[in-house]
């Protein structure tokens, strides 16, 4: 690509908000975690995070990027995981997308997004926070590590203890999940989202024997 055809963004010269706008619009699509946690008073909190992904498979681990509130108070997800180091990552499909978006509302501590979004829960097996009953899949996690990134951001790494998947999506013989049926939603830049409907197979290349 010729130099005349590129636009550079030097984050050191930009405000965090402007850098974020560029960053989130380039690193796409990002999977969405609708995370359920349990407050000390028993309230179930549900919050969406698009700074989320799988980072390890032995053991299986996921990572959440969690911001604090503008006044630097921890958000409910962060505060709840500090108190009870357990959480559930609910996978968001197209059918769940609008309710997931409602869970992004800035509610008062102690209020439950489940009531606002009209979501029902189902009990987890290995952790105390429940899962979203209508989510196509859910990962029950215990916190492994929390890393502080400055005053307002932290990284939560969780070990996956159990995965629940809707039965009609599972090929038990081959341990395969129907990706089209899962219909996962991803986050793009701004208010844009996408699904995984455009899918093709591209086998990983292998070097032929004797070829250096």
Blockwise average pLDDT, block size 10, the chain, 212 residues:
81 92 92 95 94 95 90 86 97 96 83 91 98 98 92 91 97 91 93 87 78 58
Sorted by sequence, the CB contacts under 8 Å of residue 125 that are 6+ apart come out as: 140, 162
The pair of three-digit structure tokens given for residue 79, joined into one six-digit string: 């505060």
How many separate helices (H) and strands (E) can be counted in the chain? Answer: 5, 14
Q: Is residue 116 included in any domain, yes or no?
A: yes
CA dist., res. 34 & res. 64, Å (int): 11
pLDDT of residue 200: 81
Do strands 185-187 and 30-31 pair parallel, antiparallel, or not at all (unpaired)? antiparallel
Give the per-residue pLDDT at 201. 85
DSSP letter, residue 206: -
pLDDT at 44: 94
Answer whether residue 210 is part of any domain. Answer: no
Q: In the numeric block, which tokens belong to residue 139?
A: 């990962």
The pTM assigned to this predicted structure is: 0.90
Q: Note the pLDDT of residue 51.
A: 94
Quick check: is 211 in a domain? no
Which of 158, 145, 118, 194 has the alpha carbon at shortest distance from 35? Answer: 158
Residue 182 structural domain: 3-195
Phi then psi for residue 207, to 5 deg, are -70, 135
Count how many domains the chain has.
1
Q: Are 87 and 37 in contact (CB under 8 A)?
A: yes
Is residue 99 assigned to a domain? yes
- Contact between 65 and 153 under an 8 Å Cβ cutoff? The reply is yes
Flag whether 179 is in a domain. yes
Half-sphere exposure of 130 (CA within 13 A, CB side): 14
With respect to residue 152, please indicate whether it lies within any of the assigned structural domains.
yes
CATH at residue 128: 2.30.110.10
Helix (H) or strand (E) holding 142: strand 137-149
Return d(Cα 188, Cα 198) in angstroms, integer.
Answer: 15
Q: What is the 3-state secondary structure (H, E, C) of 33-82?
A: EEEEEECCCCCEEEEEECCEEEEEECCEEEEEEEECCCCCCCCHHHHHHH
pLDDT of residue 110: 66
Rounded Cα gap, residues 96 and 103, in angstroms = 11
Q: Give CA separation, 146 vs 28, 66, 81, 153, 184, in Å.
A: 24, 10, 10, 10, 27
3-state secondary structure of 88: strand
Residue 206 covered by a domain: no
Is residue 130 in a domain?
yes
């Amino acid at each position: 690509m010729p130099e005349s055809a590129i636009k550079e963004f030097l984050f050191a010269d930009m405000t965090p908000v402007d850098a974020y706008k560029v960053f989130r619009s380039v690193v796409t699509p990002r999977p969405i975690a609708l995370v359920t946690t349990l407050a000390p008073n028993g309230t179930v909190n549900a919050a969406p995070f698009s700074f989320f992904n799988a980072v390890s498979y032995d053991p299986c681990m996921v990572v959440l990027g969690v911001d604090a509130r503008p006044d630097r108070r921890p958000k409910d997800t962060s505060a709840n995981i500090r108190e009870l180091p357990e959480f559930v990552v609910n996978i968001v499909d197209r059918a769940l997308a609008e309710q997931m978006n409602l869970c992004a509302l800035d509610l008062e501590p102690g209020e439950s997004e489940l009531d606002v979004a009209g979501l029902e829960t189902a009990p987890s097996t290995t952790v105390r926070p429940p899962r979203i009953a209508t989510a196509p899949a859910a990962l029950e996690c215990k916190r492994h590590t929390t890393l502080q990134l400055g005053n307002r951001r932290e990284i939560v790494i969780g070990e996956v203890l159990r995965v629940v998947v809707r039965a009609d999506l599972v090929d038990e013989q081959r341990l395969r999940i129907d990706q089209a049926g899962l219909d996962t939603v991803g986050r793009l830049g701004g208010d844009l989202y996408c699904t995984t409907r455009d899918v093709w197979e591209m086998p990983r290349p292998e070097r032929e024997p004797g070829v250096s």
